[in-house]
Amino acid sequence: MPSLTFSQPDASFKTIYGPVTSWRYGASLGIDPIGAVSTCSFDCVYCQLGAIEQHVGSRQTFIPTERIRADLAAAAPWAVDVVTLSGSGEPTLALNLREILTLIREMTNRPSVVLTNGTLLRDPAVQDALMSADCVSMKLDAVTPDQLRRVNRSISGLTLEALLDGMRQFRDRFPNRLDIQTMLLTPWTAEEEATYADIVRSLHPNEIQLNTPTRPKPLKHELEARGNHLPEERSYPVRSLKPLSQEALQEMGDRLQQATGIPVRSPYHHLRE
Ligand code: SF4
């Protein structure tokens, strides 16, 4: 792995964004622990950040914790449902993840949510840091190595087997709420769906979150894309992605809920009881 050097984000970079309206978690204040250069161990074909600029799996401190503390203080009184770590890439790449989660708890008294692609979950230090989260939402878009390669475009050397092993290891330790988030670009075969149901059962999530690309992909990295902008508010060029139909998503959700007994949520529907 080449060593990377990141310049400190300048004073105009906003580490706090939103609140955004999340169909999963309600009013969400975002913390971006990554910075102005999008950085992720995946480069998903649908990523709302555009093409990932730093495609890496090594951890480092991108933004000093004290900078995040000051920005979070300025966002008081935090009248939101949750505070979410996401932003410009994969938040578990941030070495100060645990410190940031501690800040959220101590300063805001709001539940913290970490949106992760799960690629670092075999790392005990990442597992340890995530123990301070109230909720972790893990991405699971692929049930075959080919899907992982085509949809998530992982850094080299990461196998589906290793990814799932990390998720299971983490689930075995994590006592709080754990959700599975899955982006669907095309309908799955019955065999793929059955494999997915088996994997999900083994992870015992609180909820399955099925999504489809309802937001277009920026042609290049745009910080504004961290929030949820109406089309007329977007000032950057985008490429539309074809979402799965509402009916197809609902039918798949119904089948999965029946097969797993786990509640399924999608942006088209409230959680089924
Ligand atoms: S894991 Fe998230 S941030 Fe990373 S490329 Fe995929 S959608 Fe983008």
pLDDT at 273: 39
pLDDT digits (tens, 9 = 90+) for 136-181: 999 999 999 999 999 999 999 999 999 999 999 999 999 999 999 9
DSSP string, 155-172: PTT--HHHHHHHHHHHHH
Q: Which atom of ligand 1 is nearest to the CA of 139?
A: 1
pLDDT at 217: 73
pLDDT at 20: 93
State the distance from the centre of ligand 1 to the C-alpha of 51, rounded, in angstroms: 9
Cα separation, 116 vs 136, whole angstroms:
7
Q: What SS3 state is found at 28?
A: strand
Q: Which atom of ligand 1 is nearest to the CA of 117?
A: 1
Map out the domains of the chain with their CATH numbers.
Answer: 16-265 (3.20.20.70)
pLDDT at 5: 47
Nearest Cα residue to atom 8 of ligand 1:
47
Pairing of strands 217-218, 238-239: antiparallel
| Nearest Cα to Cα of residue 92 among 146, 66, 56, 67 | 56
CB atoms within 10 A of CB 86: 23
pLDDT at 240: 74
Contacts of 6 (CB under 8 A, 6+ apart): 35, 37, 54, 60, 62
Q: Name residues contacting ligand 1 (CB within 6 A).
A: 40, 42-44, 47, 49, 52, 89-90, 117, 139
Contacts of 208 (CB under 8 A, 6+ apart): 179, 180, 182, 200, 253, 256, 257, 260, 262, 263, 264, 265
Cα separation, 132 vs 116, whole angstroms:
14
pLDDT at 105: 97
Cα separation, 152 vs 141, whole angstroms:
8
Given a cut of 70, the residues of the chain with pLDDT beneath it are 1-10, 219, 222-223, 225-238, 269-273
